[in-house]
Amino acid sequence: MKIYTKTGDKGLTSLIGGTRVPKHHIRIEAYGTVDELNSWVGLIRDQEISDPVKVLLGEIQDRLFTIGSSLASDPEKSRMKIPDLKEEDVVLLEKEMDRMNETLPEMRSFVLPGGHTTVSYCHIARCVCRRAERASLKLAENEFVAELIGKYLNRLSDYLFVLSRRLSHDLKVPEIPWKPRM
């Protein structure tokens, strides 16, 4: 199978279902940002972190492929069976955040990203996740997007923030509080 098809050379690409759209279409922006997020999550998973976190990050990557497939489909024309997100996917993130928060110190200020490369990767992934959420919500203003996609991305960005705090704690690097100048 050839990777290059030359069908996108004039700035158009195909959705699942065959519809051709400009490569700058909000649907392409949405699933492209989810793809970028998936790559950042893979980079976090490649770090020296605990095996249970790696397993959960692998599941998150699977859900991100599910979201990307949904966003890449023309809701009017696609006949392909696409996996669905489930409410339990959101609940899993919430439970994991609750578990991690049990042993973390109370937040008393905003935290500046940084302190360790792995922690910084979490913050970058969190920002990309927020961008994916915004693009998906913008798309949903005019076209069908499953409501659970926005909810999952919202919760995932929260999870990535809590994970950054957990990893700071595990790596014994201090969180850097934001101290605004007055």
Per cent of the chain over pLDDT 90 is 71
pTM: 0.92
Per cent of the chain over pLDDT 70 is 97
Dist. CA 114–CA 75, nearest whole Å: 40
Q: Is the per-residue pLDDT at 22 higher than 80?
A: no
- Using one digit for the tens of pLDDT, what is the confidence trace for 57-102? 999 999 999 999 999 887 777 677 777 899 999 999 999 999 999 9
pLDDT of residue 182: 85
pLDDT of residue 55: 98
Cβ 45 vs Cβ 71: under 8 Å: no
Which residues does residue 176 pair with via DSSP β-bridges, in sequence order? 112
